[in-house]
Structure 1
């Protein structure tokens, strides 16, 4: 008797993916253009432009642990609608940002709603996807973020050739209105939850079962921060800045091509058969980047990093969600992305010190070696996970 394969691409899954795409498109569009806005329109310094990015991440990191509790108490769809609405309104208010300190306050406020919205969207997607196809489904869902990495900066930088920053903020706000509309059509499953406690505990902020894989994911994010933070400066120093504009496009294409196969293999044959080769490809991409002397080598490294790193994030996120009870999917998602954001933020700062001491090419070589540390820690965590699963199955069978 053949088992019916439950569908992933339902109407609700399509709408939550589109909503997530517009949310991340706005995020990446602002991430790329606000530093220019600070230096050109507000006459700020490069350091102030960097602070705009850092403060946004800081507020997201501070709020994300509480987002799982908010989703549990008020409902995932309701919190997604509220956070998207406030994220959209804040985007419109950027039009009135005539001073650096007002913009700084807006960025902190913006980060709060970004943390809640992304946690809610990821948790809803995890609930919609059939359990037996969660690895594949979350891989498809992650494509909405991968496409936004390319589409956001491309759209924003292209529009700025024709329109002002004020008009750009209005356009991005309108796109977020589209995200709100799509979310309203999502039929989010109602997951039965245990009785709520009034007192907030550590259990309300973090999913302890998801912490081991979230810590591994944090170190992965730390490593990847070397790419997103310094690739433009590195390529400029070796005379490949023009080719660098294609780096993330190639990176995204590599992710999109591999994503359907990776998700299916994850679900049918387990996580390790995907994760170990992906870590190897990520390390190889960083080694190639450290030795880059031509456009071909730069884009080859983008392909390898896209195939490797691009496969790892949805795999780790899936493991985090699978480690928790079904009603704790919001907490598991919040825990994973809290530590992931910390990895990116910490890496951007710490690796800036490292690169000032050793230079860019040694930095990427060191990061390639660091991936093997991540591999060792994943292997240790995975052995404990499998031992725990085996002990549970033994208890149930007896």
Structure 2
């Protein structure tokens, strides 16, 4: 007779077996497993531990391959330390570079001002001679108006010591006080009038010596100011400016912003008022001005001076006037800002154009599903003219910068906005919705 063994049922618990930490037992009632020190007797998953500690995981890909770099970057981003250090360092470097560029531009402006403060724009030289000093006209730049196209300059009389080369204001002491009549846009001609013999004797002058001096061509013209009595004596003049380079569209005033070049000129003559009054000869005894200097600066403009003193020329008919030629340009900071704005405008326009083509032409509907791309295009239509408006010294709309970096950008962005709007209007709801 065949006897079948009844299988023994598996116990629900194994008494005496350490299920948690070694030596613990199950009491059959409690669902808690107690152990020594709470340590598990089973080996831990080393793969799981390595995932928690990303730094201990080796890079499984071939070294320096694209996958190797991608894997290393992903693990670094997960940890988060070196990526933060990287972009923080890049931000600090960009700030330092920008500050350095601004410092370079500031030093360039100071250098230009120092050149204007030199004798006749750096072309003149002060040296020891028969006289101990030379008279100069000091011009203080007040304002340049590109709309009216004129430069306002305040002029005062100063003198430079030939021994030290230091410029001093006139009228501070009785020894450096003069009474000088200043004439604008006149011509100096040799004196041809007959002088009073008695008056000439007081100055120990002869008629021949009188005729060797110069006078203003218009003897009835009044001076624009009398300078030299006090340090604060000054007179303002407006100097008209026009195009410096004829038939050059890229240097035309305002239109060629920021590369436009302006020019202006003025002619001065100074006479000794005391000698002229005592000789009873108006506008007589023209003095030899040593030159001119410029002080201060104008915002968003660089004004340079070049002086030509005809008193130093040999021909008699050359006259004895001080011809001052001014040149106005945009400083490098303005050019840098304008070029940077054009580059940013084109970068934004190209980005919007590519995004529109990918979404409309390539039919990537997931880009069109939201309103983000339409909001970007509409915002760009208002942002591009705003960038142009904040450019330093920007002229009225219509300059060459508008034809290159504003109008075409607005046209492209407008077309992209229209294409995206039409595409969103023709979209259909997906079938699975």
| Shared fold (TM-score, shorter chain, > 0.5) | no
TM-score, normalised on structure 1?
0.22
Structure with the greater alpha carbon radius of gyration: 2
TM-score, normalised on structure 2?
0.20
Greater share of helix: 1
Highest RCO, 1 vs 2 (Cα 8 Å, sep ≥ 6): 1
